[in-house]
Amino acid sequence: EHMNKKGFTLIELLVVIAIIGLLSTLAVVALGNAREKARDSKRLSDLKQLQTALELYFNENNTYPVVTADLGTASTSCFTTEGFEETCSAAPAITYMNQVPAGPLPGEYYSYVGATTSYSIQATLEGTSGNFTGTIEATQNGLTNVTP
Over residues 96-116, the pLDDT tens digits come to 888 899 999 999 999 999 999
DSSP code, position 103: -
pLDDT at 148 exceeding the cut of 70: no
Torsions phi, psi of 29, nearest 5? -65, -45
Quote the CA–CA distance of 32 and 48 in Å, as a whole number: 25
Quote the CA–CA distance of 85 and 71 in Å, as a whole number: 10
What is the pLDDT at residue 41? Answer: 93
Determine contact, residues 105/76, Cβ cutoff 8 Å. no
Could you give the 3-state DSSP secondary structure of residue 66?
coil
Give 112-135 pLDDT, tens digit per residue: 999 999 999 999 999 888 888 889
What is the pLDDT at residue 105? Answer: 93
Give 70-100 pLDDT, tens digit per residue: 998 888 888 888 888 888 876 667 888 888 9
Torsions phi, psi of 124, nearest 5? -120, 125
Mean pLDDT, the chain, rounded, equals: 89
- Sheet containing strand 110-114, strands side by side: 68-71, 110-114, 119-129, 132-139, 142-147
Write down the pTM of the prediction: 0.79
What is the pLDDT at residue 91? Answer: 65
Determine contact, residues 144/136, Cβ cutoff 8 Å. yes
